[in-house]
């Protein structure tokens, strides 16, 4: 292996490492496009920052066209459909984070997630549903995306959305 | 318009602005009287402060006489009745805030609200109910009252109260 | 009373006071053994620290053998059984706290508890259930254990566990 090849290999490894640390690049690689988050119509906002903590409002599985994934998991939706709803909810939180901070790369840590699943009274797999949210966060932020979490069942959510998630994020200073 | 009139007009505008920034004055203008908050009987407290954050215990629509607005929205109560219950819950949180800080004017920002509505499984308008809480906060604190929020449905709440709300408040240093 | 007796009495009072301020000693006195907390299998963690705040993931009444106290309070479980489930949940949070901080004595304050009770739609005594959690925290931490709290009903929880609790803890610097 000549010196040039070694250099190219090193640069390649370095590049991969840098890419691996960059949430915006990862998002691009996955082909996930973030649209401008919808503004709440009532007397509240999408996020409030206090010091290095960003508290995000609860979001649900709202599609780019403004419609939602609706229904109760365990009756109207399967676990896999609930998982996809939770994943879409994570995308919507990413939109809010970028809108607030300018770039996802300013996230230091995803701190705390409350994952609420619209489900039947006998449904027991809320964690498998909220994994859709957690998995996307870790895909985008790596270890910084690993959060403390609760995944619980709800008897009803606004507009009958399948999931609603709240999150607290720590910001790079 | 002579100079005196200009001066009076300017002072009037200035005065309105100052009033508009003062939560205690706004509360007074609205004729809302705050009573001393009830002390929890169990092993917990109404609020805990950490740095400039005040974490408030969940409160419900308890009236000055100690009775509550009870029932499930979508069955026992209309959306409008739920809205009034949420508004009363906000008044009870204001009592706690003043009791803890001495004055509502020490609030820098209402940060995060978790609004829980006691409702039927098919109820979909939790946000319209929790607006009763959010609207009062913005009436009293103006833009400082705008918070990140979740509004969700619950199958049951203590003593069958109509709503329970948790809030985190940022304090002026 | 001679001088020696006075001295012994004083030392005894002093000793009791010191013991009373030490969470690890209290835990030992109560004969509560903490096992290593279970690691989440999904993409999340037991706790995330930001500054002097520790955000803990939701935990439930998991026994040392890995099985859970399950069922809905008001149907499958009595209030007293729910209370014991909440108490066991507190023990599991203590395990996480010690695992994260090395010692319970590093807790400055138990800040905020969200106590969620798996229950029937007509159950009204969520606070009596979550008292099992709050009481243990105060038994172990004394006044430092007194937290802001919400105690609410849920229609369903993971694996049908009887309670799930989230907590935020302030750490000694």
| Mean pLDDT for all residues in chain A | 92
B67-117 pLDDT tens trace: 999 999 999 999 999 999 999 999 999 999 999 999 999 999 999 999 999
Assign C41 a pLDDT band (cuts: 50, 70, 90).
confident
Q: What is the DSSP secondary-structure string of A74-93? A: TTTB-HHHHHHHHHHHHHHH
The reported pLDDT for the residue numbered A58 is 98
pLDDT exceeds 80 at position A89? yes
C45-84 pLDDT tens trace: 999 999 999 999 999 999 999 999 999 999 999 999 999 9
| Phi, psi (rounded to 5 degrees) for B139 | -60, -40
**What's the ipTM?**
0.89
Chain A residues with CB-CB distance to C73 below 8 A: none
Assign A31 a pLDDT band (cuts: 50, 70, 90).
very high
Instruction: Set out the domains of chain C in order of their start, with CATH numbers.
Output: 3-171 (3.30.1330.40)
Chain A residues with CB-CB distance to C114 below 8 A: 150
Name the DSSP letter for residue A159: G
Chain B residues with CB-CB distance to C90 below 8 A: none
Does C155 contact A154 at a Cβ distance shorter than 8 Å? yes
* CB-based contacts of B34, cutoff 8 Å, min separation 6: B27, B91, B94, B95, B98
Q: Which of C124, C134, C155 sits opposite B44 (nearest CB)?
A: C134
> Mind telling me how many Å the CA of C137 is from chain B's nearest CA?
9
The reported pLDDT for the residue numbered A170 is 98
| Mean pLDDT for all residues in chain C | 92
Each residue's pLDDT expressed in tens, for chain B with a length of 173 residues: 466 766 666 655 555 444 456 999 999 999 999 989 988 889 999 999 999 999 999 999 999 999 999 999 999 999 999 999 999 999 999 999 999 999 999 999 999 999 999 999 999 999 999 999 999 999 999 999 999 999 999 999 999 999 999 999 999 98
Q: Three-state secondary structure along A33-45?
A: CCCCCCCCCCCEE
A112-168 pLDDT tens trace: 999 999 999 999 999 999 999 999 999 999 999 999 999 999 999 999 999 999 999
The reported pLDDT for the residue numbered C2 is 63
The reported pLDDT for the residue numbered C5 is 65
Assign A19 a pLDDT band (cuts: 50, 70, 90).
very low
């Amino acid at each position: 292996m000549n010196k040039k090849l070694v250099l190219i290999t090193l640069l390649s490894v370095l590049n991969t490492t840098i890419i691996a640390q960059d949430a915006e690049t990862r998002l691009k690689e996955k082909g996930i496009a973030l649209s401008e988050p919808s503004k709440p119509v009532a007397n509240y906002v999408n996020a409030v920052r206090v010091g290095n903590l960003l508290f995000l409002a609860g979001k649900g599985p709202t599609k780019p066209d403004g419609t939602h994934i609706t229904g109760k998991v365990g009756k109207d939706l399967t676990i896999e459909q609930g998982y996809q709803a939770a994943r879409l909810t994570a995308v919507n939180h990413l939109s809010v984070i970028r809108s607030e901070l300018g770039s996802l790369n300013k996230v230091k840590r995803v701190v705390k997630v409350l994952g609420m699943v619209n489900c039947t009274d006998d449904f027991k797999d809320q964690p498998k549903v909220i994994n859709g949210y957690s998995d996307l966060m870790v895909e985008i932020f790596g270890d910084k995306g690993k959060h403390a979490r609760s995944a619980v069942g709800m008897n009803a959510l606004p507009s009958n959305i399948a999931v609603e998630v709240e999150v607290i994020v720590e910001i790079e200073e």
